[in-house]
Amino acid sequence: MPDYQLTTSPSLRKRHAKEARFKWYGRIAIGLSLGFLVFMFLAIILRGAGAFSQTKIYLDVQFDEQIIDPTGARNPQDLARANTKPLLTQSLSIIFPDVTQRKDKQRLYKLISSGAVYELADQIQGHPEWIGTSRHIWVTASADVDLYMKGKIDTSLDENLRKLKDRDVVWVDTLKAEGKIKKTFNTAFFTNGDSREPEMAGILGATLGTFFSLLVCFAIAFPLGILTAVYLEEYAKKSWLTNLIEININNLAAVPSIVFGLLGLSIFLGVFHLPRSTPLVGGMVLALMTLPTIIIAARASLRSVPNTIRDAALGLGASKTQTTFHHVVPLAAPGMLTGTILGMAQALGETAPLLMIGMVAFIVDIPGSVTDVATSLPVQIFLWADSPEKGFVERTSAAIIVLLVFLVLMNLLAVFLRKKLERRW
Amino acid sequence: MDSTEVTKKQPVMSTSIMSAKNVDVFYGKKQAIKNVSLEIPENQITALIGPSGCGKSTFLRCFNRMNDTIQTCKVTGDIRFAGQDIYNPKVDVVALRARIGMVFQKANPFPKSIFENVAYGPRIHGLAKSKAELEHMVIASLKSAGLYNEVSDRLHESGTSLSGGQQQRLCIARAIAVQPQVILMDEPCSALDPIATAIVEELMESMKENFTIVIVTHSMQQAARISQKTAFFHLGELVEFGDTKAIFTNPNDQRTQNYISGRIG
Amino acid sequence: MSTLPKPPLDLTLRHARARTQIIEFLIQLVLILCSLVAILTTLGIVLSLAFEAFRFFEKIPIGDFIFGLEWSPQTAIRADQVGSSGAFGVIPLLTGTLLISFIAMAVATPLGLLSAVYLAEYARPKTRAVIKPLLELLAGIPTVVYGFFAALVVAPILRGTGASVGFEISSESALAAGLVMGIMLVPFVSSLSDDAINAVPQALRDASLGMGATHAETVQKVVLPAATPGIVSSLLLAMSRAIGETMIVVMAAGLAAKLSLNPLDAVTTMTVQIVTLLTGDQEFDSAKTLAAFAIALFLFILTLGLNIIALKIVDSYRKKYA
């Protein structure tokens, strides 16, 4: 008797249940991966958001000429090196007159960042007319005070377990009650170089280091990548040489990045004696790393230009080179550019090879050219992540946020260019 | 099965196992099948013919709802199998396709052994209760497909190592193994040489004892050779449907006349 | 209307041709030179690693390096100090690297494969268009970010959970580094597997569905077996990534070499050791710095081997369905 039943039988129900389960495994896998992504972003943003504000203390500073510029010469270099510490301690003593013991005073002065003296000296250099007057200015507070103001220090904890002692808390609360302490936008984070003090540390040095490295990387990798792609796609005939080049490109794309760092260390530094720790060498290493990415993207882009264009140009009597560079390359340019930007984005986040060529030092100065010693944004993140001071945790997260913003911008630019310029044949 | 007496004047009669009524098929906004109605007689071979792009394959794929796999495809109308509306929401397509098997234009054996190819259907549907029974089913199916003698000594070699004609018969054996009532064949011989085609045609002839076959073919000669009923499609419409002999000797419609005499195609 | 000047009918255009020929030749030369940079880079890597490694093997026998079970590259403060040469056995580094990589693969394989299957077989085109780039974002995030996250968030969570159920989990456990690395690798597995699944001919799916198999049965019994070569090569490439990954392990894994296969232990990896050996202030010629090159050579050969096998598999597979 033939079976004509078309509705779901019990055994079929089991099979359908299996199917539903299988589908859910896929959803769960995607959910877990993306959930992790969201969790990571949230954790970093929550930790890093605090770094964009900085606690400052309002002080009435007497710009005593005797202390700042006893000669009265107003020499800018001397002003920048002026001893401003007494000015700050005096001002604090005005607010807390009853702190008289030497030891207590020293604790009191620790409310202010140890970097505040340099900030003040810079301000005096910019405003020599302040000397001899008295002004109210906002001065950067120490990292511990900053953490306390941001609610990141648990004062119910035993005093010995935290850096900010009960007395410090009382002082800060007094300042708070008098409106002499507040959180402001942390411009120093964007205008300072690295520092041992979390409250003084900024990312400008690292960002410029990254910028110069990428500049060098682009200047090398872009022309090299594009010309290699042009050769392989437009000129080269199949031969052992082109075969070798292709195998090389494919394998280079998968070589661990740290190996490129070692290449830079032994060849660029060891053999050519290029300056260590500089964006020049960093950029060269990154260029070799991103080269495969750019070549592969540029080739795909050249391949998408239809042969009719080449035939048309050749048919008009253009030479191979004229055809290629007047017609084919301009048409492939948007794709090449997007590929290059994506390669640069990859180079932007690269850390390991830069460690190998010494871009990992503690560098306070802001680099001004590709041959100045520098670090880079991801390396700065690595360095700060390694610092024991609690204040660096939020700096690290904030630097990551900045890095991710740069990455997103570059990717958006690539997407935009692709949408805007790329032609569909 | 109740057999009807066949008189000389009456056309070949048989119970219909599948029927289509007012079927429309759309791909997005484009209509591929326009208001087609026909009946598929049981244990006979029905051929769907027509010029390429006329919608005959699309129509065939409505019978086991293979069109469901194409997202833009929409089927309306009434298609029945043994009296049940196969587009009824209660119908389980898995059960439907177990009853209505399919053989495709290009032989598509799985990249597995010959044995595993045929055993696949019985396995997923849990048809065999023991290993021995499964083996028996595989061999019986291969025999029904006329392939057993050629492959009996290499059942565990890859199905893709067979010749084109053998691959197609392997696919037929694979379909038979599920023990469906109806087998849909979508131009099963179009990729085969004439000798392999002849073998497959012979096979179909023997299969109709146990199965109802609906075949789409671009070859009018093939339709004439093997089928009892023929449906002629043109631009998504069913132009003419009837006994094969009648269609080929005395078509009612001018378009059918033109097609079989080679003026459309 | 003025008539156009007629061009000379001389087809050879001798002077012009000679000049263009020279230019064409020069341009081709420049292009070839550019292309050679890729070869030079590989050559540079191999030579520099091999050269320094060779110098290392002059000090430490190669057998001690490859088969040595102990890694403690101390530099002696005084030349006559005991154990001044240190121990340079690469085995504990290799086991550490493999342990973390296997943990990472244990995370990335199921997540990547199931995601790929879902995206390729079930997701609607619109869902796919959103999810796929989001997953690929995971591969675009700098690894230093993962390292920071692993060390700062994941490791303490693991430690806390471990403590609450009575497990002692090291704060630099292989588990934390491996888990985070696994997530990073998900898109490496899913993208290539997705390609492999999409390359399986629709005819095979139709055949299976046409026999009344469910979609899941079709995927499990027909599509995935047919896509196996592509999937395997995606796993090999991901594995090679895991072995060569540096920042996550530098920040989240340990420094001390320990011959252990316990994922809760702190282990160190080859890349971690390269970084530690080369970022301190030391003379360039000491056995310690040269050891870094020997490890790197080992690492390079290992990852290159995996890549070549993976590319070979993909290639043969492409030919099969071409």
Of A371, A358, A348, A378, give the one whose Cα is nearest residue A265.
A358
Sign, CA dihedral C55-C60-C63-C67, equals negative
Q: What's the pLDDT score for residue A362?
A: 87
Residues C174 and C281 in one domain: yes
Of C101, C89, C102, give the one whose Cα is nearest residue C257.
C89
Residues C140 and C255 in one domain: yes
Q: What's the pLDDT score for residue C12?
A: 61
Q: Could you state, in chain order, the average pLDDT of each consecutive group of 10 residues for chain A (425 residues)?
A: 77 93 97 96 92 91 84 81 85 86 86 88 86 88 90 83 84 89 91 89 94 96 95 90 88 93 93 93 96 94 92 88 91 90 94 92 89 94 89 92 95 86 66
For A3-7, B8-12, B219-223, C130-134, which range has the lowest pLDDT when averaged over its residues? B8-12
- For residue C3, pLDDT over 80 is answered with no
DSSP chain B: -PPPP--SSSPP---EEEEEEEEEEEETTEEEEEEEEEEEETTSEEEEE-STTSSHHHHHTTTTTGGGGSTTEEEEEEEEETTEETTSTTB-HHHHHHHEEEE-SS----SSBHHHHHHHHHHHHT--SSHHHHHHHHHHHHHHTT-HHHHGGGTTSBGGGS-HHHHHHHHHHHHHHT--SEEEEESTTTTS-HHHHHHHHHHHHHHTTT-EEEEE-S-HHHHHHH-SEEEEEETTEEEEEEEHHHHHHS-SSHHHHHHHTTS--
- C206/B contact by beta carbon, under 8 A: yes
Residues C295 and C152 in one domain: yes
Nearest by CB to C210, which of B66, B109, B111?
Answer: B66
CB atoms A4 and B82 under 8 Å = yes
Residue C201: CATH number of its domain: 1.10.3720.10
Q: What is the pLDDT of residues C81-103, one digit of tens each?
A: 545 557 888 999 999 999 999 99
Look at the domain A204-421 and name its fold: MetI-like fold (1.10.3720)
- Per the structure, the complete domain to which residue C244 belongs is given by 87-321
Can you tell me the distance from the alpha carbon of A308 to that of C149, in angstroms, rounded to the nearest whole number? 52
- Domains contained in chain C, number: 2
Q: Burial, C39: exposed, middle or buried (Cβ in 10 Å; 0-12, 13-18, 19+)?
A: middle
C82 falls within a domain:
no
CA of B103: how far to CAs of A217, B112, B187, in Å? 57, 18, 8
Q: What is the pLDDT of residues C23-58, one digit of tens each?
A: 888 999 999 999 999 999 999 999 999 999 999 999
C69 falls within a domain:
no
Indicate the DSSP class of residue A141. B
Indicate the DSSP class of residue C79. T
Confirm if C306 and C237 have CB atoms less than 8 A apart: yes
Can you tell me the distance from the alpha carbon of B107 to that of B159, in angstroms, rounded to the nearest whole number? 10
List helix spans (H) across A49-165. Answer: 65-68, 76-80, 85-95, 102-109, 116-126, 143-149
Can you tell me the distance from the alpha carbon of A27 to that of A306, in angstroms, rounded to the nearest whole number? 40
C216 falls within a domain:
yes
CB atoms B104 and C207 under 8 Å = yes
Can you tell me the distance from the alpha carbon of A45 to that of A41, in angstroms, rounded to the nearest whole number? 6
Residues C50 and C129 in one domain: no
Residues C49 and C176 in one domain: no
C74 falls within a domain:
no
Confirm if A359 and A375 have CB atoms less than 8 A apart: yes
- B45/C contact by beta carbon, under 8 A: no
Of C100, C51, C103, C93, give the one whose Cα is nearest residue C71.
C93
CB pairs under 8 A between B and C: 70
Confirm if C104 and C186 have CB atoms less than 8 A apart: no
C154 falls within a domain:
yes
Both tokens of A111, joined, read: 């409310």
Nearest by CB to A321, which of C23, C44, C271?
Answer: C23
- C222/B contact by beta carbon, under 8 A: yes
Q: Burial, B125: exposed, middle or buried (Cβ in 10 Å; 0-12, 13-18, 19+)?
A: buried
Tally DSSP H helices, then E strands, for chain C. 13, 2
Q: Which residue pairs, CB below 8 angstroms and at least 24 apart, start in A231-235?
A: A231/C28, A231/C31, A231/C32, A231/C34, A231/C35, A232/A295, A232/A299, A232/C35, A233/A299, A233/A302, A233/A303, A234/A302, A234/A320, A234/A324, A234/A328, A235/A320, A235/A324, A235/C28, A235/C31
CB atoms A4 and B126 under 8 Å = no
Can you tell me the distance from the alpha carbon of A79 to that of B114, in angstroms, rounded to the nearest whole number? 92
Q: What's the pLDDT score for residue C5?
A: 67
Last residue of a domain, one of C59, C75, C96: C59
In chain B, what are the domains? 16-109+182-260 (3.40.50.300)
User: Any residues with CB less than 8 A from the CB of C262 and at least 6 apart, and which?
Assistant: C174
CB atoms C115 and A33 under 8 Å = yes
C70 falls within a domain:
no
Indicate the DSSP class of residue A50. G
ipTM for this model:
0.89
C8 falls within a domain:
no
Q: What's the pLDDT score for residue B5?
A: 44
Which amino acid does the sequence have at B202?
E
Closest-CA distance, C197 to chain B, in angstroms, reads: 14
Residues C147 and C221 in one domain: yes
Tell me the chain A residues in contact with residue B210 when contact means C-beta distances shorter than 8 Å: none
Residues C193 and C150 in one domain: yes
Q: What's the pLDDT score for residue C185?
A: 97
Residues C40 and C106 in one domain: no
Nearest by CB to C210, which of B64, B95, B124?
Answer: B64
Residues C164 and C230 in one domain: yes
Residues C34 and C97 in one domain: no
In which residue ranges of chain A is CATH 1.10.3720.10 found?
204-421
- A5/B contact by beta carbon, under 8 A: yes
C194 falls within a domain:
yes
The residue of chain B with its CA nearest to that of A8 is: B92
CB atoms A12 and B94 under 8 Å = yes
Can you tell me the distance from the alpha carbon of C93 to that of C270, in angstroms, rounded to the nearest whole number? 5
Give the pLDDT mean for B144-152: 93
Residue to test with chain B: of A6, A8, A9, most B Cβ within 10 A: A6
